[in-house]
Amino acid sequence: MQWKLSLLNENGFRKVFLFFQNLKDMDWGLKNRLSSIIKPQNNRALMLAVDHGYFLGPTEKLENPQKVIGPLLKYCDSLMVTRGVQRTSVSPNTSTPMVLRVSGGSSIIGDDLSQEDITVSIEDAIRLNASALAMSIFVGSKYEYQTVVNLGKLVNEATKYGIPVLAVTAVGKELGKDARYLSLACRMAAEQGANIVKTYYCENFEKVVQSCPVPIIVAGGKKIPERDALQLTYNSIKAGAVGVDIGRNVWQSEHPVAMIRAVRAIVHENSNVDQAFKLYNKLASEESKRKSNKPNQNKSNKPNQNKSNKPNQNKSNKPNQNKSNKPNQNKSNKPNQNKSNKPNQNKSNKPNQNKSNKPNTPKPTPAKK
């Protein structure tokens, strides 16, 4: 037990205590939704992010969201998603909680990504049975005021219906990514009433955790090698985060299911990096073997149909029709018709009709009678 608890430092335990103390002041619905995202048995969370298309469009290896989400859904605690993808690509039969992205307005090719607004009504979020609402704030950007005020407004509306709010502290080229900046952004999000803050891991991340009174989930960020992503997960939890919201480092991996299961081993099973990476390699190897067997079925069956059957039809059957049958018709049949058949008709057939057929018909009939 002592080994398992070693992942959480003093700040982590303080965060857990304060979180559950705050639950006493919340309505039942808000408590229930939060407990479906951050598991109460260990205060950990594994969120899968697939909302990238709201500003990136068809992101690499997320071109077909339904195909990507399906195999991964049962391994994550919650899914961060837009309403469009939720309605078109997520099975309504799932019990996985939906963290609904409700902000947007700018694209990767636009002038300023920070110019976001709230794009989803609270009524539509309720229709989608959202377990939490997510939006980005851009502290230090041109549109800082707009995004921070929008967060406050979203908290006002969501609280009426007992829906938690997750604030994402966005970073960019002109924005910082050190402990000082992230501490500022996370604290501002919590001050506006966010129930969870999603931010980025950095050096001295413990300081960010200490200064934020609500649970922190760490973003996975851009694709990095699998072992590095597992190290990021381990370091985040060790520093006091309740979990990770990982996307590209799962579904852009060559083995997405193996990767999310390895991340889950760290988040919920207290595995270290070596153990998780060993699990990833084991699962990836098993997956590769399964895939290698499927091509054998495709290569053996298809050639038999294309190479053996078709050639027999084209080479054996057609030549027999063209070389043997046609010559017989042209060389043997025609001569027989001209030389043998016609003479037989003129010389033998006619005489047979006149000489043999007529005498033969009257003779057998009297004998039978």
Residue whose pair of structure tokens reads 């299911």 in the numeric block: 257
User: Can 307 be counted among the known catalytic residues?
Assistant: no
231 burial level (CB within 10 Å; 0-12, 13-18, 19+): middle
Active-site hit among 24, 198, 307, 368: 198
Closest by Cα among 136, 97, 138 to 119: 136
Q: How far is the first Cα of the chain from the last one, in angstroms, to the nearest whole number?
A: 117
State which amino acid sits at residue 128.
L
Helices (H), 168-314: 179-191, 205-210, 226-238, 248-251, 256-269, 273-303, 310-311
174's tokens: 């002109």
- How big is the CA angle at 240 (ends 144 and 29), to the nearest 5 degrees? 70
Pairwise CA distance, residues 118 & 120, whole Å: 6
- The position carrying tokens 């803050």 is 197
Q: Are residues 193 and 165 in contact, defined by beta-carbon separation less than 8 angstroms? A: yes
* Residues annotated as catalytic (active site), given as ranges: 198
